[in-house]
Structure 1
Amino acid sequence: MDHEFWLDKWQRNEIGFHLDEVNSSLVVAWPQLGVESGRILVPLCGKSIDMLWLLHQGLDVVGIELSPLALEALRTTIADHLGWEFIRTERDGVVVYEHDRVLLIEGDLFAVKPETCGEITAVYDRAAMVALPAAMRDRYREQILALSKSAPQLLITLDYDQSVAGGPPFAVSDAEVRKALERHFTIRCQDERELIDQEPRFKAKGLTSFVQRTYLLTPLA
């Protein structure tokens, strides 16, 4: 998958992955992560209003997004709700939009440097890992570890039979999460739920199961 794929999705407004409300799994699971302050990294943030929810909890946020359209929509949402203005600059080869408590980075996630993000307290991944095919996910996980210095993570995945239907979003199994991350984290599946009845598009393709899992990842001592 290249940049043009996702830029085209946003240009065509083919963004079925976007939610118009705060993700309920975030609201339920976040308190259990034990992170009450600091800077939260949200990779491939799109225009998610989850960012606004995190801000309302008193947290600072760092969002990384490839699409200028998505990032503009997110800036507008934050500005409308909180009355904040952003300063546009270039830093370490990427465009950034800043406010005292928000840093929005426009560009390729893999090109972002740790010094651009600053010190990260935790990571919230709702739609990033599942947006990438299997061949890219190891590189993605290593980049997130580098940007966050293995900070705690709230990770939400989707799992289904990819021989019946393809992504994105792509299937990420429980076994993959544990094998890839057990060297760095204590892994707890906080919630597992069947969503097939809420996903008519995938059900129409012949799937009988579409499972969402929510993980709390705590760094190993």
Structure 2
Amino acid sequence: MQNEFWHERWEKQQIGFHLDEVNKVLLKYWPAMQASSGSRVLVPLCGKTLDIVWLLQQGHAVVGIELSEIALDELAAIISAELQLEIDKSRDGDQVFYRADKLLLIAGDFFAVRPQQLGKVDVVYDRAALVALPKPMRDDYCRHLWQLSQQAPQLLVTFTYDQQQMPGPPFAVLPQEVEQQYQPYYHAELQEQREIIDTEPRFRERGVTSFLQDVFILTPR
């Protein structure tokens, strides 16, 4: 999947994947991550998720990586308004940086981000990144995320459905694949598998008959 696809989605505001509230999975399972106040949380392919606002409100430092500058402009405006933070925006080559107290947002290609740009990462929260990528890209994503986070524990959200019924994104990433993809780096423990098709009519309209939300906690091996 090419970067142009996501740039076009944001330019046309075709962002049905965006939630206008904090993800209930984050609220339910974040305590299990045992992240102390001040822990640094990496949110890959973050969009303009309100989850970052919530994490900042809990006292965490947050690093978000997102391809679209439009998305991060909107997120920065939300954070500034909600938390009264002054956010500095700067550009370096193909990357745009948004910096404030306990906040770093990077607009640019995820695979071009280097570990030294992020510093220490304590926890990863992947609620929409792995499932945004087609299968040929997921190996490289998992490997690069492991390098960026120095194998920090992860809270991961994926979806199980019949990929023949809908091409994605979001893509189906079954529990077996999660275990296979992360096996070299993590022990993957499935916390919950819940049917959410009744609350996701947009997927039913696309022909999906069952849409399961899977929640994993990944702990380093």
Q: Same fold (TM over 0.5)?
A: yes
Q: How many Å separate the matches in 1 of 2:140 and 2:125?
A: 17
Q: Which moved more, 1:90-99 or 1:203-212?
A: 90-99
Q: Which moved more, 1:119-128 or 1:206-215?
A: 206-215
The corresponding residue for 1:57 is: 58
Deviations 1:58-105 (A, max 9, x none): 100000011111000100010001111112234586221111200000
Percent identity over the alignment is 49
Name the SS of the counterpart of 1:73 in structure 2: helix
CA contact (8 A) 2:40 2:120 kept: yes
2:52 aligned with 1:36: no
The corresponding residue for 2:13 is: 13
CA contact (8 A) 2:158 2:213 kept: yes
CA contact (8 A) 1:92 1:116 kept: no
Q: How many Å separate the matches in 1 of 2:21 and 2:82?
A: 14
The corresponding residue for 2:132 is: 131
Q: How many Å separate the matches in 2 of 1:173 and 1:198?
A: 20
> What residue identity is the alignment partner of 1:101?
K
Number of corresponding residues: 220
The corresponding residue for 1:160 is: 161
Name the SS of the counterpart of 2:89 in structure 1: strand
> What residue identity is the alignment partner of 1:193?
R
Q: How many Å separate the matches in 1 of 2:81 and 2:90?
A: 21
Deviations 1:8-63 (A, max 9, x none): 00111110100000000000001001112311000011100000110111100000
CA RMSD of aligned residues (A): 1.2
Q: Specify every segment of 5 or more residues in structure 2 that has no aligned partner in the other structure, as ranges.
A: none
Q: How many Å separate the matches in 2 of 1:132 and 1:58?
A: 30
Name the SS of the counterpart of 1:213 in structure 2: strand
CA contact (8 A) 2:166 2:206 kept: yes
The corresponding residue for 2:150 is: 149
Q: Specify every segment of 5 or more residues in structure 1 that has no aligned partner in the other structure, as ranges.
A: none
CA contact (8 A) 1:157 1:212 kept: yes
- Superposition deviation, residue 183 in structure 1: 2.4
The corresponding residue for 2:220 is: 219
CA contact (8 A) 2:46 2:64 kept: yes
